[in-house]
Amino acid sequence: MKKQAHCFYSGRVQGVGFRFTAESLANKLGVCGWVKNLPDGRVEIVAQAEEAALKSFLKEIEQALSYYIRGVDVQWLNPSGDFKSFGVEF
């Protein structure tokens, strides 16, 4: 079953390749959505996929970038169906 996650990562998460790591992992796991930097220093991700792929995606982000992440806020939502791929928003 498809799920959607709306995530906010805090810590030293900008300027460390976070968005491009997320994009690479999403493409590897078949996750759609987007990632972007926020003016307050956090990184926001909206991601949609089958639940197992989405959980793997979020776990791999936390493992790959654990040195930089100090907090994660994840909200689970019903899929919106709006995404066809994963990209970096500027």
Domain segments of the chain: what residues?
A: 2-77
Per-residue confidence (pLDDT) for residue 38, from 0 to 100: 98
Tens of pLDDT, residues 43-80 = 999 999 999 999 999 999 999 999 999 999 999 999 98
Give the CA distances from residue 80 to residues 30, 31, 54, 65, 70, in Å, rounded to whole numbers and listed in that order.
Answer: 16, 13, 14, 27, 28
- Catalytic residue numbers read 19, 37
Question: What value does the mean pLDDT of the chain take?
Answer: 97
Enter the CATH code of domain 2-77. Answer: 3.30.70.100
Per-residue confidence (pLDDT) for residue 84, from 0 to 100: 94
- Rounded CA-CA distance 7/33 in Å is 11
Amino acid sitting at position 71: G
Per-residue confidence (pLDDT) for residue 88, from 0 to 100: 98
pTM (whole model) above 0.75: yes
